[in-house]
Structure 1
Amino acid sequence: MPDFTPPPPVHVPIVAAIDLQRHAASLLLYQAVLQSPIAQTFLNLLQLLATSEPDLSCLRAYGDWFHAQASEQLSWQEHLIGQLLTADNPFAQQAHRHQFAELAPSLVAAAQQDLRSLHQLYRCDGTQISQWVQAQANLLTAPIVWQPSSTTPLEPTLSLLRQQPIWAQLQISHDWGTLIEALAAHYHQFGSGVFASYRAFRWQDGQLVGIAYPDPIHLNELVGYEQQKATLLQNTEALLRGYPALHVLLYGSRGSGKSSLVKALLPAYGASGLRLVEVSKAALKDLPTIVDILRNVPQRFIIFVDDLSFEEDDDAYKALKVVLEGNLTARPPNVVVYATSNRRHLIREFFSDRPRPSEADEIHQWDTVQEKLSFSDRFGLTLTFEPVDQTTYLEIVQHLAQQAGLAIGPQALEFRALQWATRHNGRSGRTARQFVDFLCSETAISPTA
């Protein structure tokens, strides 16, 4: 009989890798979850593990995957959950805007199938992959597995996501398909795509861009203007509860904390669904477009316009006027405008604007003047921030110094604070903050100063 040579045994990594490739290729809605660098290097590694020939290529591919995880400071499994919870696809978008019972059955079935496929990819952790690479490359020891440090600071978006119940549910679940309704509820509450990833945005180049590190100022850091603060909080809470909320103009002296007060609303109410959208004066013409994007989103939005004023021939105020007063399109109940300005009358007016007898003058020029002067009245609520007096200025300094833990006597603190105000920008909340920041740096550099 002729010699018979049996075929080489099929390694378990090959069979398993091919199966995982099938799951990745079968995705109907969640394909974008696998477009990140970590996912792409993972898929490339699976492709090489699925070959029948022992090869060092898989070892190099493993190094690429390890490098991608280390660059993001995330494990494969953490990354996959994060991508899933911030996905932007038809299922996530519809779940964001509608209740689960209202979703099309075929959409739900497709999402459920995708979840089960992604779960198979999730179950393949770094240790398993390392062992497969060891077997495929005939290594004596398995490659090092990437393990994030528990003390490494997380990116803000991921930190927020890990606090949500769905994160722990996905970690311990034996079947992600059973979590379809819980995932839809997550999208409905926290949003999909960019809305799930961020709480603060800016309008830039015709699109909403997330702000990963918004100003962390908190309400308890702001001293003075208690009545203005209480009124703004009341209006913001009305917005969050679905009651009619007013557009707000905060005007007054520079450095009085107008912008800081608006920014501090986000840490206070972000967990309750408040979102902040920063729009520059140059982009005001896009306001109707921005409002239409936000109209059907469950979260509540403050469009924040800082340092607002208009020149005489500036037409940008017309777009703002449409949003403030409305047109044939109904005003969305989840969007308000909060604007700050150093000017009570937002459109500059000159003495030459006043009507004078002249053939060249506009016949109804007073109507034009009144339109300019009344533009600020189109805000339903106007909050005035007058310059702080010396007593209030020192109260702000003492409050900030106490929060910073500065060990300096009250008399010395007041003396230096008044000197600082005289030599710098006068008495204001901004000046107080700059002074305390200077003291903190001085104390850190020279503790005996």
Structure 2
Amino acid sequence: MLDRIELLLRRLEVLLPPLDQSPDWRAHAFRWRKKDVLGSRVGWLEAVAAPHRIRLEDLQHIEPQKAEMVRNTRQFAAGRSANNVLLTGARGTGKSSLVKAVWHELEQAGLRLIEVDKADLVDLPELVALLAGRPERFIVFCDDLSFEEGDAGYKALKSVLDGSVVAAPDNVLVYATSNRRHLMPEYFDDNARTRHQDGEIHPHEAVEEKISLSERFGLWLTFYAFDQDAYLAAARHWLAEFGCPAWNPEIERAALNWALARGARSGRVAWQFARDRAGREA
């Protein structure tokens, strides 16, 4: 009977949040986690044991965006004023990787990274209150951010960025990536239906509401699809990183065919090709 009770308790422990929910501030990277407990959602800050570290020099052909990101983040890590950042543009071009690379570059200067899922943005005010007063500098990172009509996290993020009666702490910035410049879907009807929009008397105000969130990010960085030369250079770089420094016309053709099959040329596709090729030739 005791063995069965112990087994049951172990199974319940997996479903429940940790008893001690105080963060391990010695960690350099965290995730905001949530679980359902007795009908309510409980959140806590979980230290990441093995964070994904990327070097800045591994990010190819995004030098202007890289320079702006490093400058803004260095200001922040040094205790000076800096802006929240929105990174938008083509998929696979290094938006998320740049956030992680800049954090890795400056983590020894006291910079910390916290990843928050879009579904948990409603807890952002609670998280910011937890971080206020800490000596570290925190980047709250939300990847692949976009909203649909009525998302609860939309207004929570707006309030934290700029708009709450509570002043935002100077040791927290929000970095978000998205494929949408304005973070919400936009329709032809937003302009075409000038007489009304979902019953609204002033349709232009509905449009203003849609773009107001992205306007609260002080720094916008836009990423563009790679051309063929940039893609091949990235593939060559990653092959060297994986221990395959040789480059010849046969490998170049294979890299181009790989991109053609994927329907895109980007840093991510180049990395995937190099990973596959290195595995074949190991």
Give the superposition deviation at 1:193: 5.3
Relative to the length of structure 1, the TM-score reads 0.54
Q: 1:308 aligned to 131, 145, 150, which one?
A: 145
Q: Percent identity?
A: 48
Matched, 1:434 2:263: no
Q: 1:371 aligned to 206, 209, 215, which one?
A: 209
Compared CA separation, residues 211 and 386, structure 1 to 2 (3 A): same
What does residue range 9-158 of structure 1 map to in structure 2 within 5 Å? none
Superposed CA RMSD: 1.8
Distance 1:254 1:383 in 2: 14
Q: Deviations over 1:85-125 (max 9, x none)?
A: xxx9xxxxxxxxxxxxxxxxxxxxxxxxxxxxxxxxxxxxx
What secondary structure, in the 3-state scheme, does the structure 1 residue paired with 2:160 have? Answer: helix
Aligned to 1:266: 103
Give the superposition deviation at 1:346: 0.7
Distance 2:124 2:245 in 1: 48
In structure 1, the gaps of 5 or more residues are: 1-87, 89-191, 445-449
Distance 1:410 1:222 in 2: 22
What secondary structure, in the 3-state scheme, does the structure 1 residue paired with 2:281 have? Answer: helix
Equivalent residues of 1:312, 1:349 under 8 A apart:
no
Equivalent residues of 2:84, 2:174 under 8 A apart:
yes
Tell me which protein shows more helix as a share of its residues: 1
Equivalent residues of 1:389, 1:427 under 8 A apart:
yes
Tell me which protein shows more strand as a share of its residues: 2
Equivalent residues of 1:251, 1:385 under 8 A apart:
yes
Distance 2:164 2:107 in 1: 30
Aligned to 2:242: 404
What secondary structure, in the 3-state scheme, does the structure 2 residue paired with 1:208 have? Answer: strand
Aligned residues: 253
Aligned to 2:30: 201
Equivalent residues of 1:254, 1:342 under 8 A apart:
yes
Matched, 1:335 2:172: yes
In structure 2, give the amino acid aligned to 1:379: F
Give the superposition deviation at 1:425: 4.3
Distance 2:247 2:149 in 1: 51
Distance 2:113 2:23 in 1: 16
Equivalent residues of 2:69, 2:102 under 8 A apart:
no
Q: Deviations over 1:413-447 (max 9, x none)?
A: 32211111011242110000000111111111xxx
Matched, 1:413 2:243: no
Matched, 1:294 2:125: no
Distance 1:286 1:441 in 2: 42
Aligned to 2:112: 275
Compared CA separation, residues 429 and 314, structure 1 to 2 (3 A): same
From the CA coordinates, give the structure whose radius of gyration is larger: 1
Aligned to 2:159: 322
In structure 1, give the amino acid aligned to 2:33: Q
Equivalent residues of 1:393, 1:428 under 8 A apart:
yes
Q: Deviations over 1:364-387 (max 9, x none)?
A: 221121121232121100000011
What secondary structure, in the 3-state scheme, does the structure 1 residue paired with 2:222 have? Answer: strand
Distance 1:325 1:231 in 2: 22
Equivalent residues of 2:87, 2:220 under 8 A apart:
yes
Equivalent residues of 2:76, 2:137 under 8 A apart:
yes
In structure 2, the gaps of 5 or more residues are: 1-19, 35-42
Distance 2:196 2:209 in 1: 21
Distance 1:226 1:408 in 2: 25
In structure 2, give the amino acid aligned to 1:244: S
Aligned to 1:177: none
**Larger relative contact order (Cα-Cα within 8 Å, sequence gap ≥ 6):** 2
Q: Deviations over 1:232-282 (max 9, x none)?
A: 000000001111110000000111110011111232111110100000010
What secondary structure, in the 3-state scheme, does the structure 2 residue paired with 1:233 have? Answer: helix
What secondary structure, in the 3-state scheme, does the structure 1 residue paired with 2:25 have? Answer: helix
Which is further off, 392-401 or 241-250? 392-401
Matched, 1:348 2:221: no
Distance 1:259 1:359 in 2: 35
Relative to the length of structure 2, the TM-score reads 0.85
In structure 1, give the amino acid aligned to 2:66: K
Equivalent residues of 1:347, 1:375 under 8 A apart:
no
Distance 1:249 1:358 in 2: 31
Compared CA separation, residues 193 and 321, structure 1 to 2 (3 A): closer
Distance 1:369 1:242 in 2: 36
